[in-house]
Amino acid sequence: MKYLHQSEDLELIQKCENGDKKAFDELVLKYQTKAFNVAYRMLSNYEEAKDITQEAFLKAYQSMRGFRKDACFYTWLYRILINTCKNKMKNWARHPHVESLDSPVQTAEGDVIRTLPDKEPDPDQLLIKRETQRCVREAIDSLAIKYKAVIILRDIEGLSYKEITESIGCREGTIKSRLSRARIILKEKLKEVNKNGL
């Protein structure tokens, strides 16, 4: 997915600095899906991901004056998001909290499926696909935080190396080595999935 040009974001940021909350609403609408998906992949928990995304946007709004205009808004937002996720996961280490990725969420309309509706007509294919996705999610979830972050940003969100360095705050060499290591670990974990052609 392509992100909007940086100059358009800067205009909105300028308005936010002048107290225009509607400008910030536009930024939220633009990036909330991506932000939420990153949070969800990091935490593997729907409700927590929602809270974290909300918290990250609030922090971004409050720290708008600290935003360096030479950086991209979304990499800056991701940085806030990933750091907030890390803090949450550290808290979990003390108080374990696990929720199945497949359990439905209770809403006013009833249970809803977490993922977007599949377009696969064949139920068997649908089942295989879901099983594959579950394996991949579990494999990613088993990674250490530092490997998980780079895999999510690079292979799921499609950020460039430069954008990842801005989001995580590491040098490119570090990103390269972490990505390489993370992919090799996932390759080993998903060997069976790859072999069986799921």
Partner 1 sequence: MDCKKSQALLSSYIDKKISIKEKDLLELHLRDCEVCQDFFKDLKDTIKLINSLEEVKLPPDLFGDIQKEIEKLPEAKGFFQKPLWVRIPIEVLGTATVMLIIFFLSRSLIQFKTPEVKDVFVQKETEISSRWMSQEGSSTVIDTPEKPASVLKDDNQMNSLIEKERKMYREEDAPVRDETVDKKDLKEPGKIQQRQIASYFNEPPDAWEKSEKVSPAVTKKSDIKNKDGKIRNEYDISIQVDNLYDGINELTTQVHNHKGNFINPPAVMKATGEEDEQKEIIFKIPRENYYQFIWNLEKIGIMKEIIPVGSDKIGIQDVTVHLKIKAEK
Residue from 91, 142, 194, 196 in contact with partner 1 (CB under 8 A): 194
Tell me which of 12, 43, 151, 153 binds partner 1, using CB under 8 A.
151
> Which of 3, 57, 74, 78 is in the footprint of partner 1 by CB under 8 A?
57
* Residue 148 to residue 41: CA distance in whole angstroms: 8
User: Comparing C-alpha atoms, which of 89, 95, 75, 93 is closest to residue 170?
Assistant: 75
Separation CA 30–CA 9 (nearest Å) = 10
Q: State the Cα–Cα distance between residues 75 and 77, nearest whole angstrom.
A: 5
**Binding positions for partner 1, 89-128, rule CB under 8 A:** 107, 112-116, 118
Cβ nearer to partner 1, comparing 142 with 194? 194
Is 88 within 8 Å of 43 (Cβ atoms)? yes
Are 114 and 46 a contacting pair, CB within 8 Å?
yes
Which residues of this chain interact with partner 1, rule CB under 8 A?
A: 17-19, 21, 24-25, 28-29, 32-33, 36-37, 40-41, 46, 49-50, 53-54, 57-58, 61-62, 64-65, 107, 112-116, 118, 132-133, 136-137, 140, 151, 154-156, 161, 172, 176, 179-180, 183-184, 186-187, 190-191, 193-194
